A and B are shown apart, each in its own frame.
Chain A
Amino acid sequence: MGMTISQKILAEHAGRDHVEAGELINCKLDVVLGNDITSPVAITEFNKIGGKGVFDQNKIVMVPDHFAPNKDIQSAEQCKVMREFAKEHGIVNYFEIGQMGIEHCLLPEKGLTLPGDLIIGADSHTCTYGALGAFATGVGSTDMAAAMATGEAWFRVPESIKFIYYGKLPDWVSGKDLILNTIGDIGVDGARYMSMEFTGEVIQNLSIDSRFTMANMAIEAGGKNGIIEADDITLEYVNQRAKRPYKLFKSDPDAKYVEIKEYDVSKMEPIVAFPHLPENTRRVSEASHVSIDQVVIGSCTNGRIEDLEIAANILKGKKVHPELRVIILPGTQQIYLDAMRRGYIESFIEAGAVVSTPTCGPCLGGHMGILAKGEKALSTTNRNFVGRMGHPESEVYLSSPAVAAASAIKGKITPPWEI
């Protein structure tokens, strides 16, 4: 029986020729990631192990991005714990303010996550790196602690669902819309414990940034990982950045899938997810009655250069609706710089939007744009749970950057073709 790409990567890292879905295996890791919320807990647990130190100073990555630049004294203390640990243990890939970005934008950009890698991160959106043909999955702080000591983690080999996207992608429909539509179809636990493999002609033609967006939201369907086989588009991105060798894997033709889902994208529209679950999806044209108080463009889902380009092209020469705030968060310093050089930042500021330094900020209700009671935000982020962006009685709607930018001008949810 053949294996899926996910199973092959796990087998390789377990030193096995073959693994079966359902098996519990121990694997060697290529990257172990933590941030300013999850690392302090991991560090406490790591110290309890009382070992000799970290397994490999090059393979641990620490990024202060959630409540950083420090939003208050407590956050400052948490970042300090991580900073001091990184220094003490000689962690090569600790990214200080000024170098950092939102972790899932930053790691691929720095060439730290490569095809065929096995990556765990104490952050649920670690699944983003699957866009490069890696097996990447989110874990908790204790797993991170154990992995920092041993370089290993246990896994249950997942079953896979194959998603095939075919047809011609209409204007204004992006990777964000494909993934929101998929989550709307299968539900927030539709891929629980499973691997989501994204395939088909539409994926083969999809930009790397859009692929990151899709893999990023595998967790919103309960998936263990999202994965796209590496191809020329992947290699073009990776080869400029990789500083170590990597290996390409493909699913066998006779690999077993628990389900195969096919989507004809030709008649699709941009999608909006209504509060309070990413599965509450509607076509944008069915959402245009919703007025909003704030638009957020950024995050590990949609804070990359292509996202900013789409938003800038819509906002250029226009004005943000007077009764609405627009907050734009480039994913990394490099993305910020690129956006500046290409004139996007100017378009945003002239339109009346604010541009923030890279941070998770409002995405998780941290800082830089918290919602008051009863307020509504349209956001390019990935979660719209109760209280996610502020007051428990505020609301978050999720969309692509195109819909978010168009809506910023009109003050209500708006299809981009109306601008």
Chain B
Amino acid sequence: MNLKGKVYKFGQDIDTDAIIPARRLTTSDPDELAKYCMEDADPSFAQKVKVGDIIVADKNFGCGSSREHAPIAIKAAGVSCVVAKSFARIFYRNSINIGLPILECPEGVDAINEGDEIEVDLVNGKVKNLRTGEEHQATPFPEFMQNIMAKGGLINYVKEQV
């Protein structure tokens, strides 16, 4: 599956409080959470972002809390994929479990600017910058995780076991 979208670029160590602050966690409704997505990193993000847009970030994206509300807010805001140099562990796990596509692409991130159009090939782990034509290789997912994602997340995967 290929995803094409406009890039919103973020720096390093974007924490889960920046993605969705605790003061917004009195609900778990995805659409409600989406309204405040990235609020403390870029207050205008939730208004600007369009369905299919892509977040590109530096290292350690999603560090901090275990709140699944963070990837849920990003997904519900319409973001199709997050590409980062690296992800914090729980955010990585949560994204796979809820079916938010993410890719680790340490080489590509610096060459991608805010506003660029990029195309992400999840199966082969490729990130192409449509402005420059450059293509970057991302870290491929282990087969086990691809299976979870192919089923649309952990719950569907587990359903078949119980």
Residues on A facing B (Cβ under 8 Å): 24, 37-38, 40-41, 44-45, 48-52, 66-67, 71-72, 74-75, 78, 121-124, 126, 138-143, 145-146, 149-150, 154, 188-189, 192-193, 219, 222, 224, 277, 364-366, 383, 385-388, 392
Contact = CB atoms under 8 A, between A and B. Distances in A.
Contacts, number: 141
Contacts of B18: 385-387
Given A41-B68, A222-B88, A146 B13 contact: no
Given A40-B28, A126-B66, 9 more contacts: A38-B67, A74-B26, A122-B68, A139-B90, A142-B98, A146-B97, A189-B63, A365-B17, A387-B21
Given A193-B89, A222-B88, A124 B66 contact: yes
Contacts of A150: 158, 161-162
Contacts of A188: 13, 60, 63
Contacts of B63: 188-189, 222
Interface string B61-72: 001111111011
Contacts of B72: 41
Contacts of A52: 162
B155 A143 contact: no
Residue in A142, A188, A219, A392 whose Cβ sees the most chain B Cβ within 10 Å:
A142
Given A124-B65, A222-B88, A142 B21 contact: no
A123 B66 contact: yes
Residue in A140, A192, A224 whose Cβ sees the most chain B Cβ within 10 Å:
A140
Interface in B130-162: 142, 144, 153-155, 158-159, 161-162
B59 interface: yes
Contact of A140 (B22, B64, B93, B162): B93
Nearest to B27: A74
A139 B93 contact: yes
